Amino acid sequence: MIQKIIYYALTIQKPDYLPGPESSLTGDALRNSVLNTTVPSVLNWAFGILGLATFIGILLSAINLLTSYGNEEKVNRAKTGFQYGVIGFVLVLLSYAIVSIIVSFALPQSS
């Protein structure tokens, strides 16, 4: 029973309107297609989310600094959060650059 289900699931064709590699691709062509489209797309989304998270951290630290009303403890906490946010943002930018360089050399080029 399970073998029949797996067989039918594997024989279902992907609709044309769904994203992904063409159904005619097999073997190395499929691997190259996935590596050249899926991996960079996932990395761009991940770095975008990380960049947004660090920006929100910087924004919240700035709001905390503005609403601290001179309280030294809150000012120091906001400054520390701001420093961590800036460091995080720089790390995201550097990691994006490093990964982009590595991907350009490691992944096969589309033909």
Range of the domain at 98: 48-106
91 assigned to some structural domain = yes
Asked if the structure places residue 40 within a domain, the reply is no
In a domain? residue 73: yes
Question: What is the spatial distance between Cα 23 and Cα 38, in angstroms, rounded to a whole number?
Answer: 15
Residue 18 DSSP code: S
Q: Side chain identity at 70, as an amino acid letter?
A: G
DSSP label at 20?
S
Q: Does some domain include residue 69?
A: yes
**pLDDT tens-digit series, residues 5-59:** 776 666 667 666 666 666 666 677 777 777 777 777 888 889 889 989 999 999 9
Which CA distances in Å does 72 have to 11, 52, 57, 58, 99? 67, 28, 20, 19, 40
29 occurs within a structural domain: no
pLDDT for 61-75, tens place per residue?
999 999 999 899 999
pTM to 2 decimal places = 0.65
Q: How many domains does the chain have?
A: 1
> Is residue 61 one of the residues assigned to a domain?
yes
Q: Determine, yes or no, domain membership for 27.
A: no
